[in-house]
């Protein structure tokens, strides 16, 4: 018999393969349109999206329809869930939370929708903490609290080759883009108040990568942490970064290295590297 509390998240959590099934999570996909054809994230390869971005072809992304959430919540109830906790990427970046809340109003069982205020493995770690609490018999209050606390503790650090993709997608101000372009810098970003924000500007790619590493080590400190090292079309650099972080952070537990999907990739562009530092609860 499954948990009395079902846990739902969305495809931008970018969990490692097999994690959703192993941890009892249900994933609702966002959509991406490439060349005028709209598909679920997961039905389009990241390499295809990355190539389109390199060639500056238009790519658009969209939230799941409320009906997708309604079907998911109905299926969870039909499988025996008495309550549902639904955890999603920042409402400041996507309408996904709004769609989930709309569907929750008519769901057959109570649904608590959590705005994680983040994305990528920042969302993924929050969903995993919620799932672990649910599988251990936690109440819906405890499951929701685990997700919210993990998301609040987690820090996401991002290095991109250019701010242009974020500017085109409306995810960062034009002024920051102009500064970056004029100085020929590699921008370092983080997520603050649910939004992607400029953190520092570094002159070269090698310095940006070194600074990303330093910031991650400082953020972890002496805490017991899990790490997510994410990239887009930069697998070898991501693996090397993960190896160095394993050596330098004294109390690192799990380290997950993976490529972001096309929904986030469309906004950060090829060459992106990110580190998610998630202190354990």
Instruction: Give dist(CA 112, CA 148) in Å, integer.
Output: 11
pTM given for the model: 0.90
Query: Which tokens belong to 43?
Result: 């039905």
Cα dist. 127→8, 56, 67, 130, 278 in Å? 8, 33, 21, 5, 12
Instruction: Give dist(CA 143, CA 9) in Å, integer.
Output: 13
Instruction: Give dist(CA 113, CA 101) in Å, integer.
Output: 6
Instruction: Give dist(CA 125, CA 128) in Å, integer.
Output: 5
Instruction: Give the architecture (CATH level 2) of 5-29+64-152.
Output: 3-Layer(aba) Sandwich (3.40)
Left (φ > 0), alpha (ψ -120 to 50) or beta: where does 229 sit?
A: beta
Is residue 25 within 8 A of residue 15, CB to CB? The reply is yes
pLDDT in tens, the chain (281 residues): 457 999 999 999 999 989 999 999 999 999 988 777 888 988 877 777 777 767 767 778 899 999 999 999 999 999 999 999 999 999 999 999 999 999 999 999 999 999 999 999 999 999 999 999 999 999 999 999 999 999 999 999 999 876 665 666 555 654 455 455 555 678 899 999 999 888 888 888 899 999 999 999 999 999 999 999 999 989 999 999 999 999 999 999 999 999 998 888 877 778 899 999 999 98
Burial of 129 (0-12, 13-18, 19+ CB in 10 A): buried
Instruction: Give dist(CA 265, CA 59) in Å, integer.
Output: 10
Fill in the DSSP letter of residue 187: E
Position 64 scores a pLDDT of: 95
Fill in the DSSP letter of residue 63: P
Position 1 scores a pLDDT of: 44
Instruction: Give dist(CA 257, CA 236) in Å, integer.
Output: 10
Domain boundaries, the chain: 5-29+64-152, 155-279
Position 168 scores a pLDDT of: 62
Position 162 scores a pLDDT of: 67
Is residue 66 within 8 A of residue 102, CB to CB? The reply is yes
Q: Determine whether domain 155-279 maps to CATH 3.40.50.920.
A: no
Q: Which residues contact 60 (CB under 8 A, 6 or more apart)?
A: 32, 33, 266
């Amino acid at each position: 018999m499954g948990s009395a509390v079902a846990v739902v998240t969305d495809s931008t959590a970018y969990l490692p393969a097999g994690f959703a099934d192993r941890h009892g999570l249900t994933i609702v996909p966002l959509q991406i349109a490439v060349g005028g054809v709209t598909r679920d994230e997961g039905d389009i390869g990241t390499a295809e999206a990355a190539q389109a971005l390199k060639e500056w072809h238009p790519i658009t992304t969209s939230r799941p329809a409320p009906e997708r959430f309604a079907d998911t919540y109905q299926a969870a109830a039909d499988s025996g869930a008495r309550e549902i906790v639904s955890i999603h990427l920042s409402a400041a970046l996507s309408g996904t939370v709004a769609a989930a809340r709309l569907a929750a109003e008519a769901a057959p069982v109570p649904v608590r929708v959590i705005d994680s205020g983040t994305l990528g493995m920042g969302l993924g770690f929050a969903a995993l903490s919620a799932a672990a609490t649910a599988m251990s018999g936690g109440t819906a209050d405890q499951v929701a609290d685990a997700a919210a606390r993990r998301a609040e503790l987690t820090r996401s650090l991002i290095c991109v080759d250019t701010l242009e993709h974020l500017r085109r997608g409306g995810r960062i101000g034009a002024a920051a883009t102009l500064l970056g372009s004029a100085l020929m810098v590699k921008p370092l970003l983080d997520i603050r108040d649910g939004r992607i924000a400029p953190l520092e500007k570094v002159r070269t790619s090698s310095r940006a990568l070194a600074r990303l590493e330093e910031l991650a080590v400082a953020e972890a400190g002496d805490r017991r942490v899990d790490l997510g090292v994410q990239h887009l079309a930069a697998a070898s650099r991501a693996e090397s970064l993960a190896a160095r972080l394993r050596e330098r952070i004294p109390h690192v537990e799990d380290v997950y290295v993976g490529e972001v999907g096309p929904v986030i990739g469309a906004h950060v562009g090829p060459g992106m590297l990110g580190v998610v530092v998630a202190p354990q609860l």
